[in-house]
C-alpha cells in the first residue's frame, strides 16, 4: 500500500491511502483512494504498515521542530515539462532526415510509435542508450550516414552520435517554438523553496544543452541562474537508474541524502533517487501513470496543489520511519 499526502487536508490530519483498483483494466488501472481521518497529534504523525496482509496505522515520533528538508531536487523531462512526446517527435524527425532503415531491408524510415516509446523511455534512460539498445535488438540500420549497417564499434558510435546531435537540435527548435509550458505548480514550488532558504537543484539524464534550453525557456533565465546545483547526463558516467547524478548533487549541495527530496515522474528516476539514499515523490505523466511507485513517499498527478510544507511533512515522516 502507498499513501498520497493531500495538501488541502494537511491541517486536519487526513492521509489518502492508495490501493490497487482491480476493477479497472490493466491499462487504465491507476489508484483507488481511501481517506483516513486522523485526530491531530502534537508530536506524532502516522504512516501505514502491512501486518498479516492487512493495512494498519502506526504512530511515528516526529519532533515538532525537526526540519529534515534541506534540498529540493527536480528532474526535468516529465517533471518540469511533459516532454516525452516532444522527444519522440525529434527522434522520428532525425530518423526521417537520415533515412534510417531498421532493419536495413525496411522500405520506410524508422518511426517509433507513441505506445512503443512510452515503454522504451520508461525502460532506458538517456537518448544514446535508447538507440543503442534498439539497434542491438532490431539490427543496426542503413542510413545516409552509412549506406550499409555499421559493423565496428567506432562506426556504430559515430552513427548514434550523429543521430543524437541532430535530434537534440531538432528538440531545441520545438522548445523555442513557444508552444511548451511548464507543468502546473512547478514554478510556485520552486519559489516557495527558495523563499524558505532551501537549496534547489535540477538533475536530468538528458543532454546538457537541451536541458539548459528547456530551463531557460520554461522556468526563466533568472530562476535557472539561481539554482544551487544543475546536473545533466553529460556530467556523470552512468545514466539513471544509476544513482550517480543524485549522489553528485548531494555532494555539491553539501547535504546528506536524507536531507534531500527528489521530484521524479518515472520508476527509473525513482530508483536513482532511492539508490542514492534520498526520498522521492512522483508527479506522474500519462506515459508513466501505470508504473510501480511503491518506493515513493508521495504520488501526485501534478504539483498544482502541493505546497512546500506538505513535502516537509512527508520527508519528516519518511525519515522518522527509517
- Tens of pLDDT, residue by residue over 37-54, are 333 333 333 444 443 333
Q: What is the pLDDT of residues 191-234, one digit of tens each?
A: 999 999 999 999 999 889 889 999 999 999 999 999 999 999 99
Question: 206 φ, ψ to 5°?
Answer: -75, 170
Identify whether the C-beta of residue 252 lies closer than 8 Å to the C-beta of residue 259. Answer: no
The three cell numbers of residue 213 are 534550453
Mean pLDDT across 65-88 = 88
Q: How far apart are the first and last CA of the chain?
A: 17
CA 220 to chain centre: 20
Cell 539554482 sits at which residue? 227
DSSP reduced 3-state for 54: strand
Show the beta-strand stretches assigned E in 175-228: 199-203
**Of 14, 12, 11, nearest in space to 3 by CA:** 14
Give me the count of residues in the chain: 322
Cβ atoms of 111 and 93 closer than 8 Å: no
Torsion sign (Cα): 85, 242, 202, 126? negative
pLDDT single digits (tens) 163-199: 999 999 999 899 998 889 999 999 999 999 999 999 9
Nearest CA among 139, 194, 253, 288 for reference residue 245: 253
Q: How confident is the model at residue 157 (pLDDT cuts 50, 70, 90)?
A: very high
Residue 10: its pLDDT value, please? 41
**Spatial separation of the C-alpha atoms in residues 213 and 208, rounded to whole Å:** 9
**How many helices (H) and strands (E) in the chain?**
10, 11
Name the DSSP letter for residue 102: S
Residues 6+ apart with CB under 8 A from 287: 78, 84, 117, 118, 121, 122
* Distance between CA atoms of residues 205 and 118, nearest Å: 16
Among 90, 286, 85, which residue's Cα sits nearest to residue 207? Answer: 90
A 10 A CB-CB count for 54 gives 8
- Rounded to whole angstroms, what are the CA distances from 79 to 112, 124, 150? 22, 17, 36
Question: Using an 8 Å Cβ cutoff, are 265 and 78 in contact?
Answer: yes
User: What phi and psi, each to the nearest 5 degrees, are found at residue 41?
Assistant: -125, 135
Question: For residue 218, what is the enclosing H or E element?
Answer: helix 208-218
SS3 159: helix
| 124-150 tens-digit pLDDT | 878 899 999 999 999 999 999 999 999
pTM recorded for the entire structure: 0.69
Q: How many Å apart are CA 276 and CA 243, to the nearest integer?
A: 5
What pLDDT is stored for residue 64 in this prediction? 36
Residue 207 or residue 21, greater confidence: 207
- The answer, yes or no, to whether residue 313 has pLDDT greater than 70, is yes
How big is the CA angle at 296 (ends 294 and 302), to the nearest 5 degrees? 115
CB 299 within 8 A of CB 293: yes
**Which residues are designated catalytic?**
75, 77
Residue 192 CB: number of other CB atoms within 10 A?
17
Amino acid at each position: 500500500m502507498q499513501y498520497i499526502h493531500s495538501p488541502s487536508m494537511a491541517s486536519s490530519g487526513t492521509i489518502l491511502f492508495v490501493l490497487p483498483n482491480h476493477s479497472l483494466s490493466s491499462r487504465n488501472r491507476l489508484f483507488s483512494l481511501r481517506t483516513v481521518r486522523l485526530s491531530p497529534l502534537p508530536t506524532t504523525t502516522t504512516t501505514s504498515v502491512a501486518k498479516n496482509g492487512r493495512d494498519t496505522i502506526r504512530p511515528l515520533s516526529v519532533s515538532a521542530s525537526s526540519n529534515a528538508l534541506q534540498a529540493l531536487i527536480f528532474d526535468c523531462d516529465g517533471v518540469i515539462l511533459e516532454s516525452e512526446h516532444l522527444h519522440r517527435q525529434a527522434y522520428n524527425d532525425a530518423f526521417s532526415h537520415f533515412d534510417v532503415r531498421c532493419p536495413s531491408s525496411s522500405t520506410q524510415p524508422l518511426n517509433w510509435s507513441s505506445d512503443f516509446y512510452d515503454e522504451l523511455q520508461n525502460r532506458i534512460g538517456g537518448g544514446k542508450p535508447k538507440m543503442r539498445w534498439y539497434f542491438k535488438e532490431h539490427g543496426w540500420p542503413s542510413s545516409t550516414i552509412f549506406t550499409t549497417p555499421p559493423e565496428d564499434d567506432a562506426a556504430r558510435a559515430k552513427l548514434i552520435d550523429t543521430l543524437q546531435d541532430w535530434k537534440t537540435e531538432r528538440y531545441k527548435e520545438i522548445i523555442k517554438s513557444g508552444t511548451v509550458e511548464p507543468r502546473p505548480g512547478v514554478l510556485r514550488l520552486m519559489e516557495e523553496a527558495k523563499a524558505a532558504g532551501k537549496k534547489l537543484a535540477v538533475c536530468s539524464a538528458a543532454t546538457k544543452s537541451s536541458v539548459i534550453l528547456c530551463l531557460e525557456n520554461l522556468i526563466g533565465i533568472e530562476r535557472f541562474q539561481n539554482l544551487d546545483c544543475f546536473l545533466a547526463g553529460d556530467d556523470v558516467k552512468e545514466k539513471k537508474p544509476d544513482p550517480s547524478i543524485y549522489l553528485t548533487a548531494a555532494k555539491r549541495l553539501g547535504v546528506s541524502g536524507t536531507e534531500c527530496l527528489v521530484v521524479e515522474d518515472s520508476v527509473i528516476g525513482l530508483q536513482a533517487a532511492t539508490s542514492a539514499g534520498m526520498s522521492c515523490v512522483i508527479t506522474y505523466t500519462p506515459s508513466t501513470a501505470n508504473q510501480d511507485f511503491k518506493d515513493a513517499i508521495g504520488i501526485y498527478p501534478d504539483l498544482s496543489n502541493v505546497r512546500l510544507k506538505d513535502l516537509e511533512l512527508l520527508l519528516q515522516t519518511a525519515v522518522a520511519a527509517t
